Chain A
C-alpha cells in the first residue's frame, strides 16, 4: 500500500468522524411546549409574536433588554427575553424563529429571526441575511 493511500484513508476517516460529531452538536426546531420540556437546552423555537401582549423595550433606559410574549400554532405562549436591540420589524413579523433556551419560566433568546409579509423584510431579518438573496416582492402593492 502506498503511503499516500494510507494518508487518504486516515483523512477520509477523520472527515467522516468530524461530520458525525457535527450532527451531535446540532439542535432542533421546537414548539413552545417541547422547548419547555427541554428546559436549559438550546433550541430553535418557531413561534409568532403575541400582539395582544405588551412589548417591553426602552432604548433610553436599557438598549439591551427586550421582552415580549411569543405564541405558537398550538396555542402555547411563553415570555421571551432578549439581551440586545429590538429588531425593528418585530411588530410586523408574521413568524419568528427564536434561538435560545427555556430557563426559569422564560425563554432566554440569543438570536431572533423575523419573517415579515412585506417586500423587503424577509431579507432583512435582524440584519443577518445575505445580500445575494432577496425577498419576494410579489405581495407588495402594485400601485405604489
Chain B
C-alpha cells in the first residue's frame, strides 16, 4: 500500500466522521445565523438613518421639491407629506409616524419635532430658506439669480492630499477584521480538534492497532489534512454565506474586495493550519487523557489569542506601524495578521512574500520536529511524557 493511500484513508475518516457530527452542523449554522443577524441589523440601522418623513403644512408645502433635493445632497432619503390639520400631524410626530412637521410661511418657518431635531433636516431647511431669501434679494438688486448661482458653483478650493485616504478604508477594515477573526476561530477550533483526536486515539488505545499498519507520520499527516479540510469547508461555507448576505443587503460593497480577501484568507488558513495543527498534535501526544489536554494546549492557544488581540488593536490603530508590520511577518502571528493587513491593502508585495517564505520554512521545521515528538510519545501511555524525553529518543 502506498503512503498516499494510507494518508488519504486516514484523512477521509477524519473528514467524514467530523462533518457528520451534530456539533459541526450546528456550529456552522449558528455562525451563519449570527452573521446574518449582524448583516440585517447593519442594513436596518443604515436604512433608518437615511430615511426621514417630514410633514409640510400650508405654504411650507411649496418647499417640498427644494427640500428633497437638499436632503438628497446630504445623503438622506427624504419623504414629504402634505398635511392639512396641524394637530393631527403633531400627534403623528409624537407617535413617530413623522420625523418632523414644518408649518408657517417662508421665511418664518417653524419645525416641530419629538425630541431632538434631525441635524441634517434642520441644516437642509435652513439652507433652503436662506437660498430663497438670497434669490429674492438678488432679484431686488437687479441681478440674475441663475447667473450668481452659476458663478458660485464655479468657485471651489483645489485640494491636494499628501496621503490620500482610501474611500473604501472603512469597508477594507471591516473585511480585514472579519478575515482575521475567522482565521483566529478556525485555527483555534480545528487545532484543538486535532489535539483531541490524537488524545482520543491514545486514550482509547486504538493507536496501537493503527500503528501496527501505519507509520506515525502517515497517521499524523492524514489527521491534519482531514481536519484541515473540515475547517476549510466551514471557512468557505461561512465566507460564501457572509458575502452573499452582505451583498444581498447591500451592507459592504463586496465584489473584488471580498473575493480577494477570501483568497488570501484560504492561503493563510492553509499555512497557519499546518503550522499550528502539528504543534497541537505533538503537544497532545504527550498526554494520555482528555483531562490533561488543557494544560499542554494552553501555551499554544495563548499564542493564537495574543496574536489576535494584540494584532487587531494595532491594526485598527495603524496598520502600517512598525510593531504590527514585524508581527505580521513572524510565522506564529502571520496567519492571522497578514491576511487582515492584506485586506486593508497596506502591505507591499515583498512583505507578503517574506511572510509566506518564513511561514513555509516554519511549517517544514515544525512538521519535522512535531513529527518526531509525536512518533516518540504517541505510544507511551500513562504519565505525561516530558517534552525533552520525546525529543531525545
- Are A and B interaction partners? no
B contact residues vs A (CB 8 Å cutoff): none
